Structure 1
Amino acid sequence: MPDRGSRSGAGRSRTAIILGVLFTGTFVMGCAEMLVAGMLDLMAADLAVPLSAVGALVSANALGIAIGGPLLTFLTARLGRRPVLLAALAVFTGLNLLPALGAGLETFIAARLVIGAAEGLFIAAAITTATSIVPRELTGRAMAVVISGFAVSGAVGMPLGRMLGDAVGWRVSFGAVVLAAAVALLLALFVVPPVPAESEVGMMGQLRFAFAPRVLAVLGVGVLLFAGSSAAQTYLVPFMEGVAGISGPWIGVCLMGFGIAAAVGSFGGGRFADAGAPRALILGAIFVAASLIAMVFWGANPVVAVIALLGLGMCGAGVTSPWQHRVEHLAGPGAILAAALPASAGNLGDAIGAFSGGQAIDIGGIPAALVTAVILATVSIAAAIASRSLRPAVSSQTAVSRQPEPAMDH
């Protein structure tokens, strides 16, 4: 069992290295997701299929995370986190080799379902591992390091993927993903310590506590908030071109800025989670809604539009760690399974937001999508406030749930 409370220089260095390896794993997985989004047109042209057919790769990955991640986490709840984490990385690495070796679209879509499930399993195992090696008052920051791998990949994964695709072809780009994933797997093999699956309850107990009404209520807050963000984020380029009057290379600059802001917010969110997750969740929802409102009323001003975009990226990503912290805390003894649920619920929220925004655009254009985003985010504020008083039924021996949330948020 790793030494949770070590504060010596060597102990802190060892902890930092382990967290760095876990960050590397989520970063590589996030880059693989962004790779597809950045090369949809290249893949469609090479495979001679419609763009929508290649888009199924994105949907398959999201579906795998949303359903397969929690399912695999449940089935492996009694196992140590280290072998689970290594197995998830190995599956991810092996299946991403298929497109590099010439697999067709149908095979790759099926593989992306399993890749998504492995990704969801890795996220849960990595977060449990990260929170087990730090003092309890730093669990939010440990979560943030793992989660931030995805945020950072959002800033660099898509542009890097596009450059690789243009330079060497999309299949070779997946070869680069496999190489990076293999490095992450080797690092994890030599660095990540054994972490027993400590729990007061068995597998059915995990289900009961992880899906308790109080946990589902907070998961619902995140679904609403992610849906609101996604209803706007999915259509950022049309917003910049059609509303803010931003065009040409400045669109790429703004998207890069959005990704960097998200990465900064993701790392910073861990500190707010440690200071008080319920309050951080409420404030995050308020600032996301404020950014969206600015886009609705003053988005025609390019300066305001850029500031709002940066705020949306930073606050939308910054709320992820407090949300994760809150869910695991409320799950109590079911925290091992609950660790997989925010990623699942977040993907559901993204899908709802993208669909709702698209329907709104058909009715009233980009402004209608932004209004839809504001409504969803505003409802999430009310839901976050209503959920603030929720408490776990019992104390837990898991890393997060044993730590009471600060009294200032009670």
Structure 2
Amino acid sequence: MPFALYMLALAVFVMGTSEFMLAGLLPAIATELDVSVGTAGLLTSAFAIGMVIGAPVMAAFARRWPPRLTLIVCLLVFAGSHVIGAMTPVFALLLITRVLSALANAGFLAVALSTATTLVPAHQKGRALSILLSGTTIATVAGVPAGSLLGTALGWRTTFWAVAILCIPAVFGVVRGITNNAGQTATAGSSPRLRAELSQLATPRLILAMALGALINGGTFAAFTFLAPVVTETAGMADGWVSFALVMFGVGSFLGVTIAGRLSDQRPGVVLAVGGPLLLTGWIGLALVASHPVALIVLVFVQGFLSFGIGSTLITRVLYAASAAPTMGGSYATAALNLGAAAGPVLGAFGLAAGLGVLAPVWVAAALAAAALLTMVLSRHTLLETTAEANR
């Protein structure tokens, strides 16, 4: 695999750390800024909403820019947003900085996804995607737990400063790893007109792939965002175990993305047919045994593996289905990921606000997984058509 892919993964690691780190910081943020944990959870949704909107907007705006320039600008804006977020004493302003950093993240990821697919042969999109997304999963293994520990020791603001500082080597990595010619297929003058690329959003197979990706990711974020109170309140474990649970989820997600990356190009149907029912069963099981610490940690690992394995496979389907939209396809994949990431925490917060208990977000994850599984069954012909055409 090209060295440039690993440089993109480095930057995705930094951004993934920021996106996921709130799972371990929400209680501290809520206390200091005098809001409820459910309200603080909206920071995750604000970030995801910014990415849903920002992915296609940023991709369309910068579709004629050199990819390296777009990636660098997005990283600098991302770093600046975290500096402001680290200093603000007002929750509303922190919410705004999350949206701004999400816009930058969206632009970066949309361009990175499109660029990554031009760096490898057409039949290796899944493997390229797995390397790119490994930055996110490594963030859950190392970056997020480290951020949680740093936030516990020195305050959540220190974690924001750390993310801003980590953007510096990420910028240098992009400058060195991505040449001006990287992604030139996607930005060449012969690429389709914007209207033609946007028209791909009306195709059933792309809509299906995006919807399934959003449902699976929605369940993942509903449970992951509110994992900390499940560990401390339902399982009765000490605060330090939150970081360990996040590590286990991250290890599982890294293995899931890595293994799925080797299967999603040629055998996506097997991944979805086997993984879908297991994912639903896992969320139900987690909700039922969450009061048992060992069982909880084991299932957190398993669900990380299944969620990211299935999720990355579906996002690969989005890229294949959007092959006629070379400059916008990455934004469609990004939007699908973050539509779920926006809706999941909101639904989880509603469950908490309705007094359904700490485990309400986990049951939301189960419901979204069930909806995805039902959709797969009802639309199996379109899904198989997507797979067949993608593998030709």
Shorter chain as denominator, the TM-score bin is 0.7 to 0.9
Cα separation, partners in 2 of 1:386 and 1:272, compared to 1, 3 Å: farther
Contact residue 237 and residue 251 of structure 1 kept, 8 A: yes
**1:9 aligned partner:** none
Unpaired segments ≥5 residues, structure 2: none
Summarize deviations over 1:22-72 as a string: whole Å, max 9, x none.
Answer: 0110101112234444444555566x5435675554333222111112211
Instruction: Specify the code of the residue in structure 2 equivalent to 1:322.
Output: T
**1:247 aligned partner:** 237
Of 99, 111, 136, 2:97 maps to 111
- SS across alignment from 1:78: coil
**1:376 aligned partner:** 368
TM-score (norm 1): 0.81
Contact residue 213 and residue 337 of structure 2 kept, 8 A: yes
Contact residue 96 and residue 178 of structure 1 kept, 8 A: yes
Between the aligned partners of 1:354 and 1:110, the Cα distance in structure 2 is 17
Cα separation, partners in 2 of 1:88 and 1:188, compared to 1, 3 Å: same
Instruction: Specify the code of the residue in structure 2 equivalent to 1:320.
Output: G
Same amino acid, percent of matched pairs: 26
Between the aligned partners of 2:59 and 2:338, the Cα distance in structure 1 is 16
Question: C-alpha displacement at 1:158, in angstroms?
Answer: 3.0
| Matches for 1:160-199 after TM superposition, within 5 Å | 160-193=146-179, 194=181, 195-196=183-184, 197-198=187-188
**2:323 aligned partner:** 332
**1:295 aligned partner:** 286
Q: Relative to structure 2, which stretch is displaced further, 306-315 or 89-98?
A: 89-98
Question: C-alpha displacement at 1:305, in angstroms?
Answer: 3.6
TM-score (norm 2): 0.84
Contact residue 131 and residue 139 of structure 1 kept, 8 A: yes
Cα separation, partners in 2 of 1:283 and 1:60, compared to 1, 3 Å: same
Instruction: Specify the code of the residue in structure 1 equivalent to 2:58.
Output: L
Contact residue 51 and residue 102 of structure 2 kept, 8 A: yes
Residue 276 (str. 1) matches residue 262 (str. 2): no
Summarize deviations over 1:229-265 as a string: whole Å, max 9, x none.
Answer: 344334434444566x452254543332122211221
Cα separation, partners in 2 of 1:373 and 1:62, compared to 1, 3 Å: closer
Q: Relative to structure 2, which stretch is displaced further, 104-113 or 285-294?
A: 104-113
Residue 236 (str. 1) matches residue 227 (str. 2): yes
| Matches for 1:2-81 after TM superposition, within 5 Å | 15=2, 17-43=3-29, 49-51=34-36, 55=41, 57-81=43-67
- SS across alignment from 1:319: helix
Of 262, 267, 286, 2:258 maps to 267
Question: C-alpha displacement at 1:147, in angstroms?
Answer: 1.5
Question: C-alpha displacement at 1:283, in angstroms?
Answer: 3.3
- SS across alignment from 2:382: coil
Contact residue 232 and residue 370 of structure 1 kept, 8 A: yes
Between the aligned partners of 1:308 and 1:36, the Cα distance in structure 2 is 21
**2:390 aligned partner:** 405
Between the aligned partners of 1:97 and 1:202, the Cα distance in structure 2 is 37
Between the aligned partners of 2:297 and 2:149, the Cα distance in structure 1 is 25
Contact residue 69 and residue 116 of structure 1 kept, 8 A: no
Of 347, 357, 363, 2:338 maps to 347
Residue 313 (str. 1) matches residue 299 (str. 2): no
Question: C-alpha displacement at 1:168, in angstroms?
Answer: 4.6
Question: C-alpha displacement at 1:368, in angstroms?
Answer: 5.9
Question: C-alpha displacement at 1:142, in angstroms?
Answer: 0.8
Q: Relative to structure 2, which stretch is displaced further, 71-80 or 30-39?
A: 30-39
Summarize deviations over 1:335-379 as a string: whole Å, max 9, x none.
Answer: 431312233233332343334344445365456654443332122
Instruction: Specify the code of the residue in structure 1 equivalent to 2:209.
Output: V
Cα separation, partners in 2 of 1:232 and 1:246, compared to 1, 3 Å: same
Instruction: Specify the code of the residue in structure 2 equivalent to 1:50.
Output: V
Task: Quote the RMSD (CA, aligned, Å).
Answer: 3.2
**2:80 aligned partner:** 94
Between the aligned partners of 2:383 and 2:154, the Cα distance in structure 1 is 53
Summarize deviations over 1:193-250 as a string: whole Å, max 9, x none.
Answer: 222225642011111014433211221112222233344334434444566x452254
Of 223, 226, 231, 2:214 maps to 223
Cα separation, partners in 2 of 1:299 and 1:34, compared to 1, 3 Å: closer
Between the aligned partners of 1:306 and 1:173, the Cα distance in structure 2 is 25
Q: What is the total number of aligned residue pairs between the two structures?
A: 383
